[in-house]
Structures are given as C-alpha cells and as structure tokens.
Amino acid sequence: MTARTPIRSAAVLGAGTMGAQIAAHFANIGVPTLLLDLTEQTARDGLKRAMALKPDPLFTRGAAQLIRTGGFDDLSGLAKVDWIMEAVVERLDVKRELLARVDAARTPGTIMSSNTSGISIAAIGEGRSEDFRRHWLGTHFFNPPRYLHLLELIPTADTDQAVLERIAWFADHRLGKGVVVAKDTPNFIANHIGVYGLMQVLRALTSGAYTIEEIDAMTGPAIGRPKSATFRTMDVVGVDVLGHVARNMTERMTDPAVREMFVVPTLIEQMIERGATGEKAGQGFYKREKGASGESEILTLDTATLTYRARQSPTLASLEAAKAIEPVAERLKTLYLGKDRVGEFLRSTLGPTLLYAARVAPEIAHSIDDVDRAMRWGFGWDLGPFEIWDAIGIRSVMSSMPQNEAPALVADRLRAGHDRFRDGLPPASPDLQILKSARDRQRTVRANAGASLVDLGDGVLAVEFHSKMNAIGADTIQMLQAGVKEAAANFSALVVGTEAEAFSAGANLMLLLLEAQEGNWDEIDVMIRQFQGATMALQHAAVPVVVAPAGLALGGGCEIVLHGDRAQAAAESYIGLVEVGVGLIPAGGGTKEMLARAMEATPPSDDLFPAVQPVFETIGFGRVSTSARHAHELGYLRDVDGETMNRDRLMADAKQLAMARVREGYRPPAKRTAIPVGGETVFAALKLGIHLAWRAGRITDHDVVVGRALARILAGGELPHRTTVSEDYLLDLEREAFLKLCGERKTLERIQHTLKTGKPLRN
C-alpha cells in the first residue's frame, strides 16, 4: 500500500445529517458507497432527507445511484469495501458496541475511521484487534461535507503511518479537502478554537452591550469572516449542535478554569428548550415569516424576552469607514485598535481568542500553520488566529490586554525581539497555490488594472484576472489578447485562471449601461468586436490554451471557458450564459460556440431542431451549472475537459494539462466554415415555442423579444432552408442582436435593476 493506493469503495455507518452527506460526497467522485443505519428503512430515510437539503450535497442527481442502503443487521457488505467510516450518534458506548461487530465483519487491512466531532479517537478504538487499531484514525468532516474544505485527520499512537498518508492523499486529491493532522484532544483544532471564540461573543451578547445585528456586522466580512457572521452561522449549523460541542468540551477538559470557559450560556439552553435551534427549526437567532404585505421578512431574537422583533440596522461608523481599507489584515488591525465600540468589542472577544489559540496550539496541533489552516478551511476565516496576531502585531495585541500573561509561544517571540510569528502563511504543499507563489517570486510579466500575465514556469504563461468579481472590461480583454501573443512568442502554453473566489462574474454591465444610455452604439460595437476577437484568439492560439474556472464563471466568463483548447474546472464551478437575465444574448462567441458544439455532435442526416432546442433552452433560461459535473451535462464543458476536486490545486492541474497538450503535439484548430444551421424551419419551431410560453404566461413580452433574437441566431438567421455557415457569420449575428437589444428600454431597465439589487427583473 502506498499513499496513492486508490479508495475504490466505501461504507458509512450512520445515515444522519453527516453520514448521509458524506456518503453523497463519496458518490460525487464516483466511489460506490454502502450507507448503513439501524434498519435499511432508516438508512433510506436518512439518504432521502440529505437529498432534500439545500445546498445540494450531490453534484448531479445521477450520483445517488452509487449509494446502496442497508441495516446494521447485515454487515456482510463491509468485507468488500476499502474504507469504513463510523458516523453514528455521539455516544462512546454506542460507537464501541457497533465497532466490535464491525471488527468481526471487516476484511483485515480495511481502513477504519470515525467522524466524531470530539470524542477521543483512541478511546473509541480501545479494545479492538491489532489490525483494526493499525488501520484506525479520526476523519472529522465539517458540515456540509461537500462544501466545507476542512478535513481533520486524527491518528492514534497505533495508527500505521501508511494509512494516514493514504487517507490524506485521497482526501486532498479526490475528495477535494484541505487536510490538517490534529492531535487527539477535545474537539480537535477548529471546533476547539472556534467554539471558544463563540463563547466570547455570546458573553458579549448576554451582557446587553450589543445587539445581535451589531455583533453580526462586526464579525462578518469586515474582519474577514463569512457573510453569515456569528448568529446566522449558528442558525445554519444548529444552536443545539453548538450546545453539544460545548458540553463535550466541558466533559473532557480537566482544568476547571478552562472548563468554565466552555459552559453553555443560559440563553443557549433556553433556546434549545424552546426548539429555537436554528434554520432547521424555522427559528433561532433569526426567524423568517411573512409580513402584512405577504412578503417574507426576517425577524431577530430579543434575548431578554425570547420573542422576535423587527431587525434593526446597526449604526457603526468605523465599520463603514473601514470598507475602503484593503487588504483585510490592515482593515482588521484598524478596527481592533479603534477607540470606539467596534474596537472595544473586538478587544474583548477576539483578543482573548487570540490568547487562547496561542496557549493551546502546542497541545492540539503540530504547528501554528495547521491552526491557521483549520480556521480558514473549517470556519471560513480569511485570516487564521496567528495571521491575525501578525496583522495587529504581537505587542499591540498584548498591550490591549495587559492583565493577561503571555502564552509561551508569544513570550518566546517577544524575547527574540519579534513582533510577528512569521511572514505569511505558507502553502500546505509546494504544488498548491502556484499562481500566488509565482507572483511572490516576482514572475509577473505584464499587468494592468484588470489582469496580469504571470510566468508559471516550465514554459507556461498565465492570464490572471484581478478586477472586482473579475468583471470583464477593456483591461481584461487587452490582457487576454496580450497573453495569447506573449505565449506564442515566448512560451509553449497559456493558462487562463485565478485563485480568487470567482473566475469571472461576466462583462462590466455598468460600462455597457452608460454607453447605451448615451447612445454610443459605435463604442458598444467596438466593445463586442474586441471581446469576440479575444475569445477567438484564445480558441485559435498558436499554443494550447487551458481555461481554469472556479466559483462563478458567468456570461462573458463562461464564454472564455467555452473558447479554450481545454478547460480544467474546479468541482465547485458555477458556469452559465446568463445574459438573458439582463435582456441580452451571449455575444462574445458563446451563442456561436454552443450551437457549433451541438451541431458537431449531430449526425449530418438528422433533423437539427432536436439538437438546437436544448441549446436554446440552456441559454434562454440562463441555466447555471451547480457543479463542474453538471456543467458537462449542460454542454458548457466537454468530455475532454478536466475536473479538479481541490480548489487549491486547480492552477497546478491546469498547468499540467497545458503541458500535456504540448507533449501531444498540439496544433491550433482551423476556423469552422461549415456549421449546419436549420434556417426558417428551426426559426419557426423556436418562435412557436416562445409564443406558446407567452400565451401560458410563463414569459413576459420582453422575454419574447430576447427569445426571438436568440432563436434567430441559432437558426442561422432568416435563411430559407437548411445550409451551413461560418463562425464569423454567427458572430456577426450575435453582435447585431446584442446591439439591437441594447437599444431596448426594457433591457436597460433590467441592467439597472441587476446593478442595483443583484437580482434579475422580469419586466
């Protein structure tokens, strides 16, 4: 057995919230999984509940076929799997009793693990056979398992190192996880520090000095935390789950003073008793209900009366002022040291959390890097605790809490004359975040406000987007064109990608709106021509171009994906041509490319309409993939395109794919000159469908206008019969339709509404 020995099958014991979702994620990557519970019906019910969750635990509905259910009365199937994971109720006696039966049923050499959130891994495996104990470890997933990046691995003194390495490699490369090896201590790393920090915040809330809304404003994006901040996050995770994890800490801690820090506040106990356990119960710190007008509104818990009141907008001037400060490290430092209520709150909650993290890090983790990664990957922090120490400065943190004795880690740094722990958090391994590493080595070849050209080494150049949400404007288009020319002259391949959260949210709508309102049609025409020129340059480049989408790749971002020689997509890629939502059609070659791909898959003798209709519906309904796997089904990705489970490995995988294309003897494709189109027959059929949808009230008058413009392109224009056309011909149709729609008042209203609210307008 080596680190890369594959896991070909798995079993999950327990079909509760976590167990069923873990089974679903195994199915996502094509691993057949046996899901067992007390009875087969219980397992089926658990899986059914998981399938109804939002966000969806599955990449596609078809993945569920890889999950087989059963009951604990028949454990014979466990003899045939590579990995058995226990995820039953958090009771030591229940786990031990079940695993004794599993030990007798498993095949020697089968990997065994527990998904416990805090019970000692060694204690659960106590008394088992030697082979069991050598193959036994903790594998703590975070909820929801598909989406949260962190996986804590907890080996025991008996765990075979080869087993740990095999699971770590599989979890990283196949499950897409950020792996941290933790010590077998209460609640491991992330929950230990995360719950301590929550307890500090809850104490601030129950003091009456701050409202729920104020605390969420101070503990969200302003300090580099998720938008759900504190109380929205607690509602999603479950208030009762917090209570359970905190009680687990108090039961397992031996130091009375430390145990006291994790005592569940009375407020939390009262909420649990009343069933206000969060989103799953319909109420927690927040509650959604219909107002007098019939529209949904969100109410906030009044902690004094445990009733719900109207939400209050917090007024915290320093938070508003800090929005202009980038990066987050500088913003957080400014807020923490501020002489106002925000600063006071952060010093009274975040300050003790930083001290506690420094105090317990040597006991719970193998390095401070692992602590920072655990909090980043498990709780969505932009900066881990020790990164925050470095952002604020060790001396500044200590001076803000003069009553506290410096933990040993802090005292050592101060004695050595240092005000920081290190110069930035290094990648977990050299082949992660290669784009950032290249920039850090000053390998930027050229840059403007929208994008940069970065030398990735080994003859591969990268175009990296870095505008807000990576919106596509003139600067981005210019750098795409420059990247193609630079790669052809001095490199062997080109990768288009970014390590930001979103690949690209599409074209710069504000710029388009301003030009349309001024009637600058020539300028808009030039913009479209330039973007079409950039996408076609990517498609016909002299070197292979690999586009690497992750997160949002919408509108123009999707069109860039469509025009690479290959795409290497992150598993969590949300790709779509969404222009119809603002009253437009894809005009950067997207409509042309989707039609051409459909025609290439259609035998010459076949009727074209059945192949055109799905393309019309995909673009016309603005369908966005819910995963890379789904993007294949929608036609945004092809069979030859790759998929990367671990987002941090995306650019490295794209680079390797580009190099492979060079080795294969890449030759640029010729422009398509004979794309089949259906002419009037297809156009009439599409128009009929649009009319019927309008008559049924499913679409608006303006939807009809946009739909017909799209139908005209997909039919090849108003041609009298079936024929073939060139790519350039279809690009001209795209540009013509786009310009006409920009002149529609209702299109401009849609664009304005989207820019203002972030939501589509049905006018």
User: What's 446's domain CATH number?
Assistant: 3.90.226.10
Tell whether 164 and 272 lie within a shared domain.
Answer: no
pLDDT at 248: 83
Q: Is there a single domain that holds both residue 408 and residue 480? A: no
Q: Looking at this protein, which amino acid is placed at residue 661?
A: R
Does residue 683 form part of some domain? no
Q: Are 556 and 530 in contact (CB under 8 A)?
A: no
- To the nearest 10°, the Cα dihedral for 390, 392, 393, 398? -120
Tell me, yes or no, whether 319 lies in a domain: yes
Among 380, 415, 450, give the residue marking a domain's end: 415
Q: Do residues 451 and 503 both lie within one domain?
A: yes
CA separation for the pair 41, 576 (Å, rounded): 38
Measured distance CA(439)–CA(442) in Å, rounded = 5
CATH assignment of the domain containing 115: 3.40.50.720
> Cα–Cα distance between 167 and 151 in angstroms, integer?
10
Q: State the pLDDT at residue 453.
A: 98
CA distance 344 to 338: 8
Helix axes 190-206, 266-273, angle to 10 degrees: 90
Q: For the chain, how many residues are written? A: 763
Backbone φ, ψ for residue 12 (5° rounding): -120, 125
**411 lies in the same domain as 527:** no
Question: What confidence score (pLDDT) does residue 44 get?
Answer: 98
Whole-angstrom distance, CA of residue 581 vs CA of residue 563: 22
The pLDDT of residue 301:
96
User: Is residue 592 domain-resident?
Assistant: no
Question: Which alpha helices (H) appear in 254-392, and where do they start and end?
Answer: 256-261, 266-273, 317-322, 328-336, 341-364, 368-379, 385-392
CB 528 within 8 A of CB 739: yes
Q: If you write DSSP's letter for every residue of 506-546 in order, what string do you get?
A: -B-HHHHHHHHHTT-HHHHHHHHHHHHHHHHHHHT-SS-EE
Residues 444 and 394 in one domain: no
Among the candidates 415, 447, 481, a domain finishes at 415
Cis peptide before 385 (omega within 30 of 0): no
0.85 surpassed by pTM: yes
Same domain, 396 and 471: no
Rounded-to-integer distance, Cα 358 and Cα 368, Å: 8
Given this model, what pLDDT does residue 1 score? 67
CB 192 within 8 A of CB 144: no
Residues 51 and 132 both lie in one domain: yes
What tokens appear for 699 in the block?
């679409």
pLDDT digits (tens, 9 = 90+) for 107-142: 999 999 999 988 999 999 999 999 999 999 999 999
Residue that is last in its domain, among 386, 415, 444: 415
Host domain of residue 233? 190-415
Is residue 596 assigned to a domain? no
Q: From 34, 44, 39, select the one nearest 79 (Cα to Cα).
A: 34
Domain presence at residue 238: yes
Answer whether residue 200 is part of any domain: yes
> How far is CA 630 from each of CA 503, 551, 586, 633, 718, rounded to the nearest angstrom?
17, 13, 20, 5, 33
What count of other Cβ atoms lies within 10 Å of the Cβ of residue 182?
A: 24
Contact present, 148 and 236 (Cβ < 8 Å): no
Distance between CA 265 and CA 263 in Å, rounded?
6
CA distance 7 to 481: 43
Q: What is the pLDDT of residues 281-337, one digit of tens each?
A: 999 999 988 776 667 889 999 999 999 999 999 999 999 999 999 899 999 999 999
Do residues 398 and 473 both lie within one domain? no
Token duo for residue 126: 């106590």
The verdict on 382 and 474 lying in the same domain is no
Q: Does 717 fall in a domain? A: no
Do 323 and 247 lie in one domain? The reply is yes
Contact 646, 173 (CB under 8 A): yes
Under-50 pLDDT residues of the chain: none
531 Cβ contact list (under 8 Å, min separation 6) = 472, 477, 507, 556, 559, 587, 588
CA distance 12 to 171: 15
DSSP 188-245: TTHHHHHHHHHHHHHHHHHTTSS-HHHHHHHTSGGGT--TTTTHHHHHHH-HHHHHHH
CATH code where residue 240 lies: 1.10.1040.50
Question: Among all chains, which residue has been given the structure tokens 């209570």?
Answer: 243
Is residue 54 located within the same domain as residue 149?
yes
Judge whether 515 lies within some domain: yes
Nearest to 63 by CA among 552, 601, 649, 626: 626
502-548: per-residue pLDDT in tens? 999 999 999 999 999 999 999 999 999 999 999 999 999 999 999 99
Mean of per-residue pLDDT scores for the chain: 95
Longest dimension (CA), the chain: 86
DSSP-derived letter for residue 113 is: E
Look at the chain and report how many structural domains it folds into. Answer: 3
Query: Is residue 381 domain-shared with residue 487, that is, in the same domain?
Result: no
| C-alpha to C-alpha distances, 249 to 165, 186, 188, nearest whole angstrom | 29, 6, 10
Q: How far apart are CA 22 and CA 305, in angstroms?
A: 39
Strand duo 493-497 + 545-548: pairing: parallel
Cα separation, 627 vs 498, whole angstroms = 18
Looking at residue 715, the DSSP 8-state letter turns out to be T
DSSP 8-state code for residue 691: H
CB atoms within 10 A of CB 369: 19
